[in-house]
Structure 1
């Protein structure tokens, strides 16, 4: 039901991936969506009516912007079928298309018409009604935007983001600031403006995902303490608190999942 699609080479520096959730469901089914350190544009098809995400009622034939999240969000289905398409922007990637301070949109979901959006309402109707592949249609529109706008990406913060990912969230914030040639205060301010997160918050999310992949991997661990230490946590309670806060579930819930099952969206009965 959940699939991901890689962007073309032109968009790859700015977009992490396109994603699609499509299929039968049940009214009242709850989906937990962990934070990814990114922001998303979400499109609802004509059959995806009245889903609720963090109190926001997602209507058909609409697009929504979800800013950076620092905890898991909930989506509750109110129909028997859902079709949702998303564009997940890399940290700093959204600024290639629109200038907006992401630190003001943390944990917020907005109808795209509520702020200067990339996609017009006419484009959304065209997307929902067209027989063409919707991912291709969205990608074409974004490529058009890249050539239309000449805004530069923030190279210092983008580099810092890549360093945090490379170190799997286990980093020194002071050393990061030095590495990108900024004083600590300026580094933290710019990082939050362009990503929505403090460097520490973003590092916690990256560390969380590393822990989840370790929990789901085929690597043999004696106990959760081994996973915690490998992922950079102090002890098992520390791992437990972080996984619970960011996913709404305990580490044990991920141990029982098949290694090939995606954990970007987790669903439960209400």
Structure 2
């Protein structure tokens, strides 16, 4: 597989972390990928329709937005593919689409269901990846200018949660009640502060696991402030469907949090 990241234009730096392109080449046969929860919504374009499907045989839209996921999902594909994606900042959905983030949580929503646009048709005519990313960029810029919405409190709370601050400390720093913080995060990120905090800690532990730069799993567990190893493994399974050893053995992760999942017959 081929993978590349592209920085957003300056006008989008506060909304898009980066664009990415993932291509399979000419590989054939059925392949499975996992989408891991990371608190990040995204805009995804598939060069061809009807490529990916989930375990229930529901086909993923060709051009779609997904909200933050709270658990893993599996995606299956047969044949070659090219995906182009924009990873948003956690609070970007409301600023771009003027919708409460919780309305999109754990969902893949066709872009046409959110806004009236000819973007899919124009992407089909574009010949190069650069042209397609330019079209996606200008679409998002136009949306931001049309919506004209900002919430600095939500952005600041999101940053603190990503840094691992406790909920009580965030409430103190921002002078917010528990209920107000809950409402703010659910509206702009799509889940409770506690759930988002759990996902951020899981992601922090996963980043360390990927490096394999730890003495034992137990040392990783305590470094990431889990109560004990069994608690960590339960959390890891909830977010990946597998334990840490299986993840290291069977995942092939070109795109972060979208690993191709190998099976025993692939080895």
Question: TM (normalized to structure 1)?
Answer: 0.86
Distance (Å, rounded) in 1 between the aligned partners of 2:257 and 2:102? 23
Tell which deviates more after alignment, 203-212 or 23-32: 23-32
* Pairing 1:61-210 to 2, within 5 Å after superposition: 62-77=62-77, 79-114=78-113, 116-117=114-115, 120=117, 122-132=118-128, 133=130, 134-146=132-144, 148-149=145-146, 151-167=148-164, 171-210=165-204
Deviations 1:192-233 (A, max 9, x none): 011001111111111111111111225331x11100011121
**For structure 2, which runs of at least 5 residues remain unmatched after alignment?**
none
What secondary structure, in the 3-state scheme, does the structure 2 residue paired with 1:57 have?
coil
What secondary structure, in the 3-state scheme, does the structure 2 residue paired with 1:36 have?
coil
Decide which structure has greater helix share.
2
> In 1, are the aligned partners of 2:55 and 2:74 still within 8 Å (CA)?
yes
2:12 aligned partner: 11
Inter-CA distance 74–255: structure 2 relative to 1 (3 Å threshold) = closer
Deviations 1:217-264 (A, max 9, x none): 25331x111000111211111111111211222212454589995542
Tell which deviates more after alignment, 255-264 or 24-33: 255-264
Question: Pairwise CA RMSD of aligned residues?
Answer: 2.4
Distance (Å, rounded) in 2 between the aligned partners of 1:21 and 1:247? 21
**For structure 1, which runs of at least 5 residues remain unmatched after alignment?**
none
> In 2, are the aligned partners of 1:173 and 1:199 still within 8 Å (CA)?
yes
2:234 aligned partner: 241
Q: How many residues align?
A: 258
Tell which deviates more after alignment, 183-192 or 173-182: 173-182
* Pairing 1:42-53 to 2, within 5 Å after superposition: 42-46=44-48, 49-53=50-54
> In 1, are the aligned partners of 2:22 and 2:255 still within 8 Å (CA)?
no
Deviations 1:15-54 (A, max 9, x none): 12212221144443110010110211211113x5331036
1:251 aligned partner: 244
Inter-CA distance 159–141: structure 2 relative to 1 (3 Å threshold) = same
Distance (Å, rounded) in 2 between the aligned partners of 1:263 and 1:58? 19
Question: How big is the shift at 1:181?
Answer: 2.1
Distance (Å, rounded) in 2 between the aligned partners of 1:75 and 1:259? 14
Distance (Å, rounded) in 1 between the aligned partners of 2:124 and 2:248? 38
Distance (Å, rounded) in 1 between the aligned partners of 2:191 and 2:251? 31
Q: Does 1:38 align with 2:40?
A: yes
